[in-house]
Amino acid sequence: MDLTSKTIAGLSEMLQKRELTSKEAAGLYLERIAALDPSINSYITVTTESALADAEKADKRLASGTDITPLTGVPISVKDIFCTEGLKTTCASRMLEGFIPPYDSTVIKKLKDAGAVILGKTNMDEFAMGSSTENSAFGSTLNPWAEDRVPGGSSGGSAASVAADLCAASIGTDTGGSIRQPASCCGVVGLKPTYGRVSRYGMIAFASSLDQAGPLTKDVKDAAIMLGLMAGRDNCDSTSIDASVPDYAGSLQDNIKGLRIGIPNEYFIEGMDKETEGLVREGIKTLKDAGAVIVDISLPHTEYAVSVYYLVATAEASSNLARYDGVKYGQRVDIGSGLIDMYKATRDAGFGAEVKRRIMLGTYALSSGYYDAYYKKATDVRALIKNDFDEAFKTCDVIATPTAPAPAFKIGERTSDPLTMYLSDIFTISCNLAGLPGISLPCGLTEAGLPTGLQIIGKFLGEQDVLNTAYAYEQARGPITQKPKL
């Protein structure tokens, strides 16, 4: 096996046995990035010098044998939405093209403290608004499995970098499916934790009541390792949960005999890609054969999830993005005719079309005379969606669904049809609205060789059950031998 194909666990074992140095590992990934990423465009910024310097520090740490974690010396990538001290952070927007934060986000700090080596910042939909990574100011990312297809979004660069072995793992953010949907499109594992399980401090905001950071990895064990190092209460984030963090990786087990898995009829809909449905149902059968009990459940308000999401998320985006006005940081376009004209010129030049669309939608939903009819009603229905999950979990332990209704679509296929684009996240949005943990894991390839994802959703703070179910499926399914042909 090529060293760049190894999991975190596999690399960590080699590093700790001194069969490989971190500097050697980082060098291999950087060489691969230089050779392959110009065509895939999964990275916005590659941090060659700092990565090699951090790898040298990790090697000294490994040599001392103290304060070692499974991530010490392991090269990873990070979505360009996390503030990184002294390193350009753009959110894939011209608005922040030259922004260099003076501090690290909490997630970045935790990963650095664990000894991770950051290879660079990955491409994404601008301000995390999109399902295809076509909305980046720095060009689209291509799917390593088929370069005429999207990698999903908004964490498409992170998913593509993992799928193409341009890093050992990555971190992304998930507001309505932005970790899980690209994980499905790129054939990797993507985990969205419970809302508040991972700190949002220093993670550039899109929709504050929905955003959550999580890992994209090559297998379930790696996702458990990453989550254990990322999670925990943070005094800098008042929405982070004050609860102990389990040893997710150490507690992984594949015995799911008697586990009740709920299957919602609302997630197998007319118009869904038939191959995707077949592969997901085959995955559910694999879980049943492994000892799980399949239970039919209903999530009756699912049909309203997309509408609710695109009112709540855009309203919060409208508020969050008001800070980009050309005054304190980021781009400034001063045409010399007054403050209001400077605001207008700065925002017009700095934001892309999709970001402008969502700001306008959100501003309208919050405006006087429309607030009760749109935003307030959406928050009321959001509560009903959460209640659906509460009721369902009275009869099941986890829920299994497709991650996306179809495999990755072709680049440019949906850019002129926003509503069709928004439906790409139809199966992932409810999980965010309810604040629940969810994971996408590969469950086979279509005849065209495109990956498909199986989604497991858990109870509030039920990450261990989600990971165990995913791990049991992974063990029963067996290793995936197919790789993208780059």
Q: What are the catalytic residues?
A: 79, 154, 178
Q: Is 479 exposed, middle or buried (0-12, 13-18, 19+ CB in 10 A)?
A: exposed
Distance CA 286, CA 478 (A): 11
Distance CA 322, CA 343 (A): 10
Question: Residues 215, 226: contact at Cβ < 8 Å?
Answer: yes
Spatial neighbors of 485 by CB under 8 A, at least 6 apart, are none
Distance CA 377, CA 372 (A): 6
Distance CA 252, CA 247 (A): 9
Strands 438-445 and 189-192: antiparallel
Question: Residues 191, 171: contact at Cβ < 8 Å?
Answer: no
Q: Is 254 exposed, middle or buried (0-12, 13-18, 19+ CB in 10 A)?
A: middle
Distance CA 153, CA 404 (A): 12
Q: Is 385 exposed, middle or buried (0-12, 13-18, 19+ CB in 10 A)?
A: buried
For residue 76, what are the β-bridge partners?
118
Distance CA 31, CA 278 (A): 39
Strands 117-122 and 75-79: parallel
Distance CA 97, CA 88 (A): 8
Structure-token pair, residue 191:
């985990």
Degrees (nearest 5) of the Cα angle 241, 246, 248? 120
